[in-house]
Amino acid sequence: MKLSSARIKGLVFVLIILCVFAGLMTLGSFYDVIISETLYNPESVFAEIMSFLGKGSAFMIIPYCIIIAVLWILEFTGKRRFEDKRRWIEIAAFWAIYLVMAAALAYIAKVCWGRIRYYELLQAGDSSLFTQWYEPQGNTGHDSFFSGHTILSGSALVLFYCFNTLKDKEKANYQYTVLVVCILFMAVTAVSRIMLGMHFLTDVTFAGFLGFLIFYIDYSIMPFVKKLIDKACMKIENIYKNKPFAHASESASDNKTED
Q: Tell me, yes or no, whether 254 lies in a domain.
A: no
Q: Tell me, yes or no, whether 160 lies in a domain.
A: yes
Q: Tell me, yes or no, whether 132 lies in a domain.
A: yes
Q: What is the pLDDT of residue 76?
A: 78
**pLDDT band at residue 1 using 50, 70 and 90 as cut-offs:** low
Q: 225 lies in which domain range?
A: 43-246
Q: Please provide the average confidence, as pLDDT, over all residues in the chain.
A: 88
* CB proximity list for 94: less than 8 A, separation 6 or greater: 158, 161, 218, 219, 222, 225
How far apart are the C-alpha atoms of 58 and 211, rounded to whole Å? 12
In degrees, to the nearest 5, what angle opens at C-alpha 85 toward C-alphas 84 and 89? Answer: 125
Global pTM value: 0.88
* CB proximity list for 143: less than 8 A, separation 6 or greater: 110, 111, 113, 114, 115, 117
Nearest Cα neighbor of 146 from 126, 125, 121, 117 is 117
pLDDT, tens only, 6-46: 678 778 888 999 999 999 999 999 999 999 999 999 999 99
Q: Tell me, yes or no, whether 16 lies in a domain.
A: no
The total number of structural domains in the chain stands at 1
pLDDT, tens only, 100-139: 999 999 999 999 999 999 999 999 999 999 999 999 999 9
Q: Tell me, yes or no, whether 25 lies in a domain.
A: no
Residue 247 or residue 57, greater confidence: 57
Q: How many helices (H) and strands (E) does the chain have?
A: 11, 0
